[in-house]
Structure 1
Amino acid sequence: MATLKDVAMLAGVSVKTVSNVVNGYTFVKPENARRVREALAATGYKPNVGARNLRRGRTGFIALMVPELSIPYFGELAGGVLTAAHEHDWSVLIEQTQGLREPERATLASLGPHMVDGAIISPEALRKEDFTQHASALPMVLLGEHALDVPIDHVGIDNVLAARTAVQHLIDTGRRRIAVIGQNPSRGTATQRLAGYRQALEAAGLPQPPALIAPAHRYHHKDGAEGMAHLLTLEDKPDAVFCFNDMLALGAVRAAAERGYRVPQDIAIVGFDNTEHSAYSLPSLTTIAPDKTALARAAVSLIHDRANGETGDPKDIQIPFTLEIRESTVTGGPAATPPPR
């Protein structure tokens, strides 16, 4: 394998100059930098990332903990984290926990500076006390739920406002008996989205019958279909449903169609997450669209800053969202963003 010395000899410069170019320093003369880049290409030199990390006191890895990669939102989020991490020469160790407390606790306990340089975690069942012994040992970023009151950097969206925006859209289209699918007291984001739903109905002076709140143990297509099937057995059926993620919403669309209901003519449906599937379903799905790329980049940036010595109070970064209005709430085709081409 080519060494820095080999590259330096071919380029006619010092080893230090080659090192500066390889590490991205900008104070190298343009002509010398050009010769070094040509020599790097000619020799096929590859930097020893392991040695570089050892010199920097880094492992070269960060961890990402998510509930389920089979849920498209988390798969897309993981892709964003991988892209952002690679820009900082990090590889990503991914652990999925099924949203259960014991696997989440075990993953948290296994993380340390000897394994990773930081951790990005999206918990569903962890409690405040689970973080106590780990909060100061390793740079961490918490995604999603932030009601745990732990001194950890956080990146997320305003779930209450996003839910209220989704339900207000349904109200604006003339819906008055609006249900939800996804109520789950163990999920912090579910609690927040339910609060936003209630706020929108209260502001509009609409009733909030408990029968219109359908639970969901998991957030898969099957759970959404079962929730919709239940709602359609009610004597006073809903004319709209707000689902707490896109998988629930797509399951609900299927269950409604199987029972002869037209979406959106008979019942409008809104999802949450704007996963790729939502733009290609039939009908295409109106959904809340968090900026997942910005969320991933912000989380990795926080880890980078803390790993490089930044101190101070925990940061709480709010990522923007939009409402993508499509065929599941508006007849005659999409009213806003069309499916990607």
Structure 2
Amino acid sequence: MTPTIHDVARLAEVSIKTVSNVLNDYPHIRPTTRQRVLDAISALDYTPNLTARGLRSGRTGLVSLIIPDLRNAYFAELADIVVRAAEAQGLSVMIAQSNGNRERELSLLTGPRMQMVDGILFSALGLSAADNDLLARIKTPMVLLGERILDGPKDHVTMRNVEGAQAATEHLLSIGRRRILAFGADPEQGLGSARLRLDGYRRALAGAGVDEDPELVVQVVGWYRSTGAESMRRLLERGVAFDGVVAFNDLIALGAMRVLQEAGRNIPSDVAVIGFDDVDETRYTLPTLSTIDPGREEIVEVALRWLTERITGSAADLPPRDHLTAFRVLQRESTTPR
């Protein structure tokens, strides 16, 4: 039979109220009592009834993470960090995939499943600043992730896209590369990551006194290995000369590297390549891929903390907050100097 809160209380030799206080992480409980309850929960493999708890407390202990696409390694790894960080706080996570589609995002935000959650972490791709009024009407506590909602009505945590891409380009310039691709431009994104990272690339060229060549700005629609490979294949067929690649995410960098190597280009001797996102796979490629670590753990830590503050009401009087994470340039084999 499924264990109940009564079974936990009986095994721990405490009241049901004490078990409930431990589950809700109330501070004024003796450490020895708290440990007895936690040991009983573990021994019985007890799982709280979220529906019943929600009826009593007004909270379910469940938060929603809405992300564009789990096929993208960045979002898959982000989801993993969110789940582990939430579990450490006694929270469960419901993950929903929006496919970056505006109507799908609206459906997820306003659908019946959102009535089950205490808060929402939302990585918007289809919505834009034009939807700020709509977001303001959503009463469920929410923290926005990503770039698409700027100056919006909710807390917003994101990475330094411009500065990160600028640092990636400056890194290639510092090892003597001058014909550097901006690999991943996507005019359909508007003010998304592609536009911001292109701005960073341009800043670096301007700072080094290198003229921008429009032929080196390469469009990649959809940031996957396959689209990176196809865009690089088309570029090589056109005979464009280049000695460096700033790829706007790691996946398109990996696809491009495969095509370059198939074409007989040595990485990094002929072409130095740097990506963006620091997904786990970049540590194991041949050669290993230099990349920008955008501060994914910091994004999750701040976003989850702010969301919890909104849920509990401790930040109820604060205006919407914005946070930009720190980043690092990770030099690996793909950008070894000549």
Residues 1:322 and 2:324 are matched in the alignment: no
Which residue of 2 is the match for residue 265 of structure 1?
269
Which of residues 243, 263, 277 is equivalent to 1:239? 243
**Number of matched residues?**
332
Counterparts in 2 of 1:166-181, with a 5 A limit? Answer: 166-181=168-183
Secondary structure (helix, strand or coil) at the match of 1:261 reads coil
Which residue of 2 is the match for residue 108 of structure 1?
109
CA deviation profile, 1:172-215 (whole Å, cap 9, x unmatched): 00001111111012321111000000000000000101000000
Counterparts in 2 of 1:147-166, with a 5 A limit? Answer: 148-166=150-168
Residues 1:283 and 2:284 are matched in the alignment: no
Counterparts in 2 of 1:75-90, with a 5 A limit? Answer: 75-90=76-91
Change (3 A) 1:327 1:26: same
Once the 2 structures are TM-superposed, how far is the Cα of residue 11 of structure 1 from its aligned partner?
5.5
CA deviation profile, 1:255-307 (whole Å, cap 9, x unmatched): 11111110110011110001011111111100001222221222222221111
Secondary structure (helix, strand or coil) at the match of 1:69 reads coil
Once the 2 structures are TM-superposed, how far is the Cα of residue 149 of structure 1 from its aligned partner?
2.8
CA deviation profile, 1:211-246 (whole Å, cap 9, x unmatched): 000001110112212222233345550110100000
Supply the distance in 1 between the matched residues of 2:38 and 2:63 (Cα, whole angstroms). 29
Change (3 A) 1:314 1:242: same
Long gaps (5+) in structure 2: none
Q: Which amino acid aligns with 2:247?
A: C
Change (3 A) 1:111 1:322: farther
Which residue of 2 is the match for residue 91 of structure 1?
92
Once the 2 structures are TM-superposed, how far is the Cα of residue 49 of structure 1 from its aligned partner?
3.6
TM-score, structure 2 length as denominator? Answer: 0.88
Q: Which amino acid aligns with 1:168?
A: E
Which residue of 1 is the match for residue 67 of structure 2?
66
Residues 1:122 and 2:123 are matched in the alignment: yes
Q: Calculate percent identity across the aligned residue pairs.
A: 42
Once the 2 structures are TM-superposed, how far is the Cα of residue 80 of structure 1 from its aligned partner?
1.0
Secondary structure (helix, strand or coil) at the match of 2:334 reads coil
CA deviation profile, 1:99-134 (whole Å, cap 9, x unmatched): 233322332332675232222121222122334233
Supply the distance in 1 between the matched residues of 2:217 and 2:286 (Cα, whole angstroms). 25
Which of residues 191, 202, 205 is equivalent to 2:206? 202
Q: Is the 8 A contact 1:215 1:227 kept in 2?
A: yes
Higher mean displacement: 170-179 or 18-27: 18-27
Once the 2 structures are TM-superposed, how far is the Cα of residue 313 of structure 1 from its aligned partner?
0.9
Residues 1:141 and 2:139 are matched in the alignment: no
Supply the distance in 1 between the matched residues of 2:335 and 2:299 (Cα, whole angstroms). 27
Change (3 A) 1:47 1:97: closer
Q: Is the 8 A contact 1:125 1:186 kept in 2?
A: no
Supply the distance in 2 between the matched residues of 1:197 and 1:302 (Cα, whole angstroms). 31
Which residue of 2 is the match for residue 294 of structure 1?
298
Q: Is the 8 A contact 1:219 1:247 kept in 2?
A: yes
RMSD over equivalenced CA pairs, Å: 2.6
Secondary structure (helix, strand or coil) at the match of 2:187 reads coil
Change (3 A) 1:120 1:38: closer
Supply the distance in 2 between the matched residues of 1:97 and 1:20 (Cα, whole angstroms). 36
Supply the distance in 1 between the matched residues of 2:44 and 2:237 (Cα, whole angstroms). 71
Supply the distance in 1 between the matched residues of 2:118 and 2:82 (Cα, whole angstroms). 14
Long gaps (5+) in structure 1: 333-341
Which of residues 274, 280, 299 is equivalent to 2:278? 274
Higher mean displacement: 137-146 or 70-79: 137-146
Q: Which amino acid aligns with 2:336?
A: V
As a proportion of its length, which structure holds more helix? 2
